[in-house]
Amino acid sequence: MAKAALRCIECNEDANELHRDYSNGILKITICDSCKKPVDKYIEYDPVIVLIDAILCKIQAFRHILFNTEVNIHWKLCVFCLLCEAYLRWSHLQGSEQTSDPADIIRYTREWDFYSMFGLAALELAVFVCGVLACLWLVVGLRGQVLDTHLLVKALLLSSYGKVLLIPAVIWEHDYSPLCFSLIKIFVLTSNTQAVRVLLNCGRCLSLLAVMSGLLLESCVSLTFHRLEWHTQDFLPHP
């Protein structure tokens, strides 16, 4: 696969290089021909600064990460976040099904519950990504442009890094609150919107529309599974 072109993080113009290496060992940051600013000032910065700017949803930090670096941890990050999410849902489920039975014969069923929660979280994420892709395919297709699906999926997964905030909730599993999860969700969706905006170099409206489409589909799937669960419980014999 051909390497994606480098971009100026200020004006999004293509760039041939981020810095020039002179023969005497001096490196000099390339200046953008279009905006006359450094093509990518972040190559000099500490990764922590880049991370802080990404948390602040700065568009330049997103362009640096998506176009000018070769970060390939999106799948690992995705699996890690899904495991945290599955564990939280599973522990919440167990909390609502306390049993005093010392034999605890349904222990193995509980293990399968965890796999089910992981599967559901993965399905919801897949539906969310498909929803965003479908919306963007439609709009970008109508404009006669080409959508880089691989880069878009990578951008969506990487920009969901906010789910790492679930880790404290995993550690202090009894101290989380729905408000905390709602705030994490809003942060992740804001980050997703910014990633789509950077990738397509489009306005906020289109990126917000795409992310909301994904969220709507994800909510439909989640609601359908919850209704199925309620129906199943209605048919189970009560103790």
Report the interface residues with Zn ion, using CB under 5 A: 8, 10-11, 13, 32, 34-35
Name the minimum Å distance from CB 62 to Zn ion.
15
Name the minimum Å distance from CB 215 to Zn ion.
33
Compare residues 8 and 158 and give the one whose CB is closer to Zn ion.
8
Question: What is the 3-state secondary structure of the chain?
Answer: CCCCCEECCCCCCEECCCEEECCCCCEEECECCCCCCECCHHHHCCHHHHHHHHHCCCHHHHHHHHHCCCCCCHHHHHHHHHHHHHHHHHHHHHHCCCCCCCCCCCHHHHHHHHHHHHHHHHHHHHHHHHHHHHHHHHHHHHCCCCCCHHHHHHHHHHCCHHHHHHHHHHHCCCCCCHHHHHHHHHHHHHHHHHHHHHHHCCCHHHHHHHHHHHHHHHHHHHHHHHHHHHHHHHHCCCC
Distance in angstroms (rounded) separating the CA atoms of residues 207 and 5: 22
Compare residues 30 and 222 and give the one whose CB is closer to Zn ion.
30
Compare residues 4 and 165 and give the one whose CB is closer to Zn ion.
4
Compare residues 34 and 91 and give the one whose CB is closer to Zn ion.
34
Name the minimum Å distance from CB 57 to Zn ion.
20
Name the minimum Å distance from CB 38 to Zn ion.
9
Name the minimum Å distance from CB 5 to Zn ion.
13
Compare residues 18 and 65 and give the one whose CB is closer to Zn ion.
18
Compare residues 37 and 89 and give the one whose CB is closer to Zn ion.
37
Compare residues 34 and 69 and give the one whose CB is closer to Zn ion.
34
Name the minimum Å distance from CB 6 to Zn ion.
11
Neighbour count for residue 12 (Cβ, 10 Å): 17
Produce one character per residue of 70-81: b if its CB has 16 or more CB atoms within 10 Å, e if not.
Answer: eeeebeebbebb
Name the minimum Å distance from CB 202 to Zn ion.
18
